Amino acid sequence: MADRFLPLPMPIFAFLGEGETGFVVAMSAGGSVQLLGSVLAWRSL
């Protein structure tokens, strides 16, 4: 999960980083549904 993204010691910071990335992608795509899907996909991985 967070290991491949950034080796941060705290999982909360890692989740925030992944969430922000998913948010940017969702904003570029223009859909909050994709944001939710991205976060859920990251959490399931």
Note the pTM of the prediction, 2 decimals.
0.28
Confidence of residue 17 (pLDDT cuts 50, 70, 90): low
| Token duo for residue 14 | 């890692």
Instruction: Give the span between the Cα atoms of 37 and 7, in whole angstroms.
Output: 23
Contacts of 26 (CB under 8 A, 6+ apart): 32, 33, 34, 35, 38
Domain span at residue 29 reads 2-44
Q: Which of 25, 45, 43 is nearest to 35 (CA)?
A: 25
Asked if 2 and 45 touch (Cβ cutoff 8 Å), the reply is: no
Q: What is the chain's mean pLDDT, rounded?
A: 64
Asked if 14 and 8 touch (Cβ cutoff 8 Å), the reply is: yes
Q: Please tell me the predicted confidence (pLDDT) of residue 8.
A: 47
Is residue 5 pLDDT above 80, yes or no?
no
- 35 DSSP assignment: H
Count of domains forming the chain: 1
Q: Please tell me the predicted confidence (pLDDT) of residue 15.
A: 59
Q: Please tell me the predicted confidence (pLDDT) of residue 4.
A: 56
